[in-house]
Structure 1
Amino acid sequence: MRVGISGFEPKRLTQVREARGLSKINLGRLVERSPSTITKWESGYHSPDADALTALSIILQCPTSWFTKPVTLYENNPVFFRTLANTAKDLCAASEHYMEWLQEISAHLQEELDFPEVNIPYLDVSDYRQIDDEMIEIMASKCRKLWGLGLAPLADLLLVIENAGVICSRFAQGSTVMDGYSQWNERESRPYIILASDKNNYFRSRFDAAHELGHLVLHRFIKRLDIVNFKPIEAQAHKFAACFMLPEEAFSVELPPGPTLENFITLKQRWGMSAQSMITRAKELLLISDVEHLRLYKQVSARGWRKGEPFDDQNEPEVVRLLPRSLQLLLDEGIFSKQSFIKYLDMSSTDVENLMSLPQGYLSENNVLQLTPKLKSKRNATINDSDEDNVVNMFDNKPR
Structure 2
Amino acid sequence: MSRKKIFNGKRLKAARTYRGKTIDVLAKEANINKKDILAFEEDKYKPVVENELKISNTLNFPREYFFQHDDIKVIVESTHIRPESPIPRVEEISYKEKLVMTHRVVSVIEEYIKFPEMKIADDLSKYDDMEELATKVRRNWGLGDGPIGNMLSLLESNGIIVSGLNVDKRGALSFTQKQSVERNSRYLVSLGNDKKSATIRNYDLAYELGYIVSTEIGMSSKNFSKDEFACAFLLPKETFFEDLANVNEINDYVELKKKWIAPISAMILRAYQLEVINYKKYMYLMREMEKQGWLKKEPLDENIKATSPALLKKSVEMLIDNKVMTREGLVETVADSGISLYAEDIEMLLGLKEGMLSPKVNNKKNNVTKVNFKNRK
Under a length normalisation based on structure 2, what TM-score does the superposition of the two structures give?
0.85
Q: CA deviation at 1:67?
A: 1.4
SS in structure 2 opposite 1:273?
coil
Q: Kindly provide the amino acid, as one letter, of the partner of residue 313 in structure 2.
A: P
Partner of 2:153: 159
Gaps of 5+ in 2: 335-339, 362-377
Aligned pairs for 1:17-56 within 5 A: 17-56=16-55
1:176 aligns with 2:171: yes
Q: CA deviation at 1:97?
A: 0.5
Partner of 1:253: 242
Gaps of 5+ in 1: 126-130, 224-228, 368-400
CA contact (8 A) 2:87 2:172 kept: no
CA distance in 1, matches of 2:86, 2:257: 35
Q: Deviations over 1:340-392 (max 9, x none)?
A: 2122222232322222111233222759xxxxxxxxxxxxxxxxxxxxxxxxx
Q: Deviations over 1:290-312 (max 9, x none)?
A: 11101101110110111101111
Q: Deviations over 1:162-197 (max 9, x none)?
A: 111112211226341432323243722322212124
Partner of 1:139: 133
SS in structure 1 opposite 2:162?
strand
SS in structure 1 opposite 2:144?
coil
Q: Kindly provide the amino acid, as one letter, of the partner of residue 104 in structure 1.
A: R
CA distance in 1, matches of 2:325, 2:186: 25
CA distance in 2, matches of 1:362, 1:330: 13
Partner residue of 1:220 out of 213, 216, 227: 216
CA distance in 1, matches of 2:52, 2:341: 15
Partner residue of 1:188 out of 161, 175, 184: 184
Partner residue of 1:292 out of 261, 281, 284: 281
Q: Kindly provide the amino acid, as one letter, of the partner of residue 206 in structure 2.
A: A
Under a length normalisation based on structure 1, what TM-score does the superposition of the two structures give?
0.81
Q: CA deviation at 1:204?
A: 1.3
Partner residue of 1:244 out of 233, 236, 244: 233
Partner of 1:358: 352
Q: CA deviation at 1:199?
A: 3.4
Partner of 2:223: 232
Change (3 A) 1:184 1:288: farther
CA distance in 1, matches of 2:160, 2:99: 13
Aligned pairs for 1:12-161 within 5 A: 12-71=11-70, 72-73=72-73, 75-83=75-83, 88-121=88-121, 131=126, 134-161=128-155
SS in structure 2 opposite 1:219?
helix
Q: Which has the bigger relative contact order, CA under 8 A and spacing at least 6? A: 2
Q: CA deviation at 1:100?
A: 0.9
Q: CA deviation at 1:206?
A: 1.3
CA distance in 1, matches of 2:122, 2:212: 7
Change (3 A) 1:222 1:73: farther
CA distance in 1, matches of 2:20, 2:74: 24
The number of residue pairs the alignment matches comes to: 350
CA distance in 2, matches of 1:121, 1:293: 33
Change (3 A) 1:198 1:297: closer
Q: CA deviation at 1:12?
A: 1.8
CA contact (8 A) 1:62 1:347 kept: yes
Change (3 A) 1:116 1:347: same
SS in structure 2 opposite 1:77?
strand
